[in-house]
Structure 1
Amino acid sequence: MAAKRITFPGHDGSMLAARLDLPAGPHLATALFAHCFTCGKDIPAARRIAARLAAMGIAVLRFDFTGLGHSEGEFQNTSFSSNVDDLVAAATWAAGEGMPPSLLIGHSLGGAAVVKAASMLSGIKAVATIGAPFDPAHVTHHFNDALPAIVRDGKAEVSLGGRPFTIGKAFIEDTGNGVLAEVLGDLKAALLVLHAPRDAVVSVDSAAQIFMAAKHPKSYISLDDADHLITRAEDAEYAAEVIATWSARYVNRPLPAPPIGTPEGVVRVSEADKSGFLQDITSGSHVHLLADEPLAYGGTNRGMSPYGFLSASLGACTSMTIRMYARRKDWPLEHVGVDVSHDKVHAQDAATGTQEKIDSFSRTITLSGSNLTSEQRARLLEIADRCPVHRTLERTSHVNTVLAD
């Protein structure tokens, strides 16, 4: 994955600072990410979600709203509507670069903003909200004590998350008119609502209101015990995986043509967690897998180990080879099952630097079909040894195969 620093003009001409997270392989779709109230494009949740989506082929444009982070402009002159207009400006810039967004993702107040922006943009196929309020005016509870001064003086300085911000009267008036019910009812894109039931900042009741106001297609996913800012890496990664999988039903992600000489395309592996061993594995536009190590070896046990994938390759190839032969012969084979075990442990081998050249696989094949003859079963067992992966492994490995009763 590559991240590019860019700038583009926002709603009032101020230059907005952004990052464009690009896939290492083919670019299959583009998403815009809107951060939470007074946050920024570089908070951990935004970085992690963008990185995981990029690993799955989705480019992500995340930026600081006007007056926040590294973007120009005065925050006190912004409002909910100006945030929406900044999103429209971001979509316009991306379209001009040949990557028009089809997916919008918004966190907290950014979630409300992407819902509103979706009604103003063409080509948006899917919208995902994370911990979003149903009423944008909800954010004013962060500075209730300052509301009288803001109304009286036109602005006031408040402390949010330990940082000073000047809130203008226009922001209060604008959010008060920003109820999303009408926009949600006319949303022309699929909607995914992600919310933690124990969210202490935005009640899960908001998720229910957003969900009920929208028409189908719509989905709700619980983020369980995640906090509002999605500070834990595993929660951000889960949200990204859900968004990528869900959006594939609505966002066109065409399968790219394979490079010359690689008819099955390139399998790409990208490190997802530098503190552990979790790996993103992608093949084409719709295949995404995770590789990992067991907890005992410093991993998080969220995917198969490298040797696990090796065994899976042998088992899948064996089953496919048997099926192709039985289909060609029109034999009454109803089901194939293959159990594979391997006596190596990748983490141990990597740690010891073993030079052992011979591996031993045990393969148990189950053939179901009441009308299969003993001769047919024996022949299918012979055919198993013609599996291309089997032949590849046998050049340096022994594959021991038995037929299950």
Structure 2
Amino acid sequence: MPTENLKITTEAGHELSGSLELPTGLVRGAALFAHCFTCTKQSKAAIEVTRALAREGIATLRFDFTGLGGSEGEFGRAGFASDVDDLVASAGALCARFGDGILLVGHSLGGAAVLAAADQLPKSKVAAIATIGAPSDVPHVLHNVKGDIAAIERDGEGDVTIGGRAFKLSKDFLDKTRSIDLLDRVRAMRVPLMVCHSPTDEIVSVDHASNLFKAAKHPKNFISLAGGDHLLTNAADASFAATVIASWASRYLPMKDDWPMPEEGVIVCTGHGKFGTEVHTSSHRFVADEPRSYGGDDTGPTPYDLLNAALGTCTAMTMKMYADRKELPLEGVSIHVTHERNHEEDCGHVEAMESGRPIQALNRAITIRGDDLTEEDRARLIEIADKCPVHKTLEGHLHIHTDDQS
């Protein structure tokens, strides 16, 4: 999927570094992702979750908090309140581009930050909030700080390590972190909430999820990320969380009324990828693309994949209809369709080679399942395969008419 790098200017005057993951096709809505404590937008969870949301049609922005990654400012003097300010600025930039009503997603302390930021954003700007492994009290993150906290409070600042990385923290950072009553903000919140948490999280126990869930008003949901660790280092866990969140968020980020859904046929729309396009039928939508070897993003089947699929699916349906009508004990079929571009060379079509007209072929290998089928039944089913409507269309005298509808 295409990734757009951008900068967001905060009220404090410094720039935040962001990466916007864009759907290959049309945009259903937008989401803002907040990373965990001292992580960056390049953390495994940040990348996996934002790209999974983009696959669901949700343009998703991840960014580095003040003083982390590629963002300006001093992390050690910023504190939790600064994280909230960063989120407010980023949400404003996202709404300006995609419209109000965005999804906020936060991981670990980022989850606490999006809950706190909801209180500072106009209600129209936030459609829903999802947290992943979030603490129910902000000072909990100070347990991860290795250093002389008492000396920092006495001297005004000091050196610490967090997650094996060195930082210089100020007393102001500690004071701002301790001053937030997150559960009070959640109780006052009137935004749909999904709490995702692993019962095996050893950094932030699942009790925190229980506290957040109890404090929140309905509508609210809880999803167990059983087996996952706090940082979602397993890509499958991050992808699962994102897929569930995207599905849940579709209730609050509905399909746009002006999306092209034709009464018949299909409409193909170009999107944000280099070659990726979105296909709309009267009731479905999906993405087609080219593989990376052709310069695409590989976010969907290729046009020839779709051609092969048209023949294969129509063949399977036709065989099933016939078997049902004749009450044959057909258990199922598997059909492998491949496209051959140089069929005239492989099969010696001399006339085609002399005329310069290339002959292409679709090769169809059919496996029929059904132990009780007779040899006669199998032979008849293979004959029926050649009678499927798409097969007839492809081998018939097909005209394609093009009109400029601009």
| Counterparts in 2 of 1:283 and 1:48: CA distance versus 1, 3 Å | farther
Q: In the alignment, which of 176, 192, 198 is matched to residue 196 of structure 1?
A: 198
Aligned equivalent of 1:222: 224
Q: Report matched runs for 1:50-129 at 5 Å.
A: 50-100=50-100, 102-121=102-121, 122-123=123-124, 124-129=126-131
CA contact (8 A) 1:55 1:270 kept: no
For residues 320 and 183 of structure 1, the distance between their equivalents in structure 2, rounded to whole angstroms, comes to: 57
Aligned equivalent of 1:4: 4
Q: What amino acid sits opposite 2:119 in the alignment?
A: S
Deviations 1:12-40 (A, max 9, x none): 11111111111111111010000101111
**SS state at 2:181 partner:** coil
**SS state at 1:128 partner:** strand
For residues 157 and 188 of structure 2, the distance between their equivalents in structure 1, rounded to whole angstroms, comes to: 34
What is the aligned length?
338
Q: Is 2:214 aligned against 1:212?
A: yes
Could you state the TM-score of these two structures normalised by the residue count of structure 1? 0.71
Aligned equivalent of 1:299: none
Q: In the alignment, which of 176, 179, 184 is matched to residue 177 of structure 1?
A: 179
Percent of aligned pairs with the same amino acid? 39
Q: In the alignment, which of 364, 367, 372 is matched to residue 359 of structure 1?
A: 364
| Counterparts in 2 of 1:45 and 1:392: CA distance versus 1, 3 Å | same
| Counterparts in 2 of 1:253 and 1:320: CA distance versus 1, 3 Å | farther
| Counterparts in 2 of 1:341 and 1:173: CA distance versus 1, 3 Å | same
Aligned equivalent of 1:130: 132
Aligned equivalent of 1:327: none
Tell me by how many angstroms 1:171 deviates: 2.0
Q: What amino acid sits opposite 1:70 in the alignment?
A: G
Q: What amino acid sits opposite 1:210 in the alignment?
A: L
For residues 86 and 288 of structure 1, the distance between their equivalents in structure 2, rounded to whole angstroms, comes to: 34
Aligned equivalent of 1:379: none
For residues 283 and 3 of structure 1, the distance between their equivalents in structure 2, rounded to whole angstroms, comes to: 24
Q: Report matched runs for 1:5-404 at 5 Å.
A: 5-100=5-100, 102-121=102-121, 122-123=123-124, 124-143=126-145, 145-254=147-256, 257-258=259-260, 263-266=265-268, 313-314=313-314, 340-344=332-336, 357-359=362-364, 390-393=388-391
| Counterparts in 2 of 1:197 and 1:269: CA distance versus 1, 3 Å | farther
Q: What amino acid sits opposite 2:334 in the alignment?
A: H
CA contact (8 A) 1:248 1:286 kept: no
For residues 209 and 242 of structure 1, the distance between their equivalents in structure 2, rounded to whole angstroms, comes to: 21
CA contact (8 A) 1:311 1:341 kept: no
For residues 117 and 312 of structure 2, the distance between their equivalents in structure 1, rounded to whole angstroms, comes to: 44
Tell me by how many angstroms 1:145 deviates: 4.2
Q: What amino acid sits opposite 1:205 in the alignment?
A: D
Could you state the TM-score of these two structures normalised by the residue count of structure 2? 0.71
Structure 1: gaps of 5 or more residues: 272-280, 290-305, 323-337, 347-353, 365-384, 398-405
**SS state at 1:78 partner:** helix
For residues 264 and 256 of structure 1, the distance between their equivalents in structure 2, rounded to whole angstroms, comes to: 15
**SS state at 1:125 partner:** strand
CA contact (8 A) 1:36 1:106 kept: yes
Aligned equivalent of 1:351: none
| Counterparts in 2 of 1:309 and 1:108: CA distance versus 1, 3 Å | farther
For residues 165 and 35 of structure 1, the distance between their equivalents in structure 2, rounded to whole angstroms, comes to: 18
CA contact (8 A) 2:157 2:168 kept: yes
**SS state at 1:111 partner:** helix
CA contact (8 A) 2:262 2:280 kept: no
The structure with higher relative contact order (CA 8 Å, sep 6+) is 2
For residues 83 and 95 of structure 1, the distance between their equivalents in structure 2, rounded to whole angstroms, comes to: 18
Structure 2: gaps of 5 or more residues: 288-304, 323-329, 339-345, 348-360, 370-383, 396-406
